[in-house]
Amino acid sequence: MKRYPFQPVESRDQSQSQNRYRHWLSTFLFLLAFGTGVTAVAIYYVQSRATEQPDLVQPTSVPGEYDLGGVVAALRDRDLTVEYGRRQARSSALSPPAQTLTVDDAALYIFIYPDAATRATEATGLTAADIRLATATGTPVPVTVPALVMGSNIVALLDSDSTEVRDKVTQTITELR
pLDDT (tens digit per residue) in 70-129: 999 999 999 999 999 988 899 989 999 999 999 999 999 999 999 999 999 999 899 999
Amino acid identity of residue 88, one-letter, is Q
Whether 86 and 112 share a structural domain: yes
For the chain, percent helix, then strand, then coil, each to nearest 5? 40, 25, 35
Does residue 125 belong to any structural domain of this protein?
yes
Whether 146 and 72 share a structural domain: yes
Q: What is the pLDDT of residue 122?
A: 92
Cα four-point dihedral sign 95, 132, 75, 81: negative
Does residue 88 belong to any structural domain of this protein?
yes
Q: Which domain holds residue 72?
A: 68-174
Does residue 59 belong to any structural domain of this protein?
no
Please report which confidence band the pLDDT of residue 9 belongs to, taking 50, 70 and 90 as the band edges: low
Please report which confidence band the pLDDT of residue 61 belongs to, taking 50, 70 and 90 as the band edges: low
Whether 37 and 79 share a structural domain: no
Whether 90 and 31 share a structural domain: no
Does residue 135 belong to any structural domain of this protein?
yes
Q: Could you tell me the pTM of the whole model?
A: 0.65
Does residue 106 belong to any structural domain of this protein?
yes
Q: What is the pLDDT of residue 11?
A: 62
The per-residue pLDDT of the chain, averaged, comes to 86
Whether 121 and 156 share a structural domain: yes
pLDDT reading at 55 higher than 60? no
Amino acid identity of residue 20, one-letter, is R
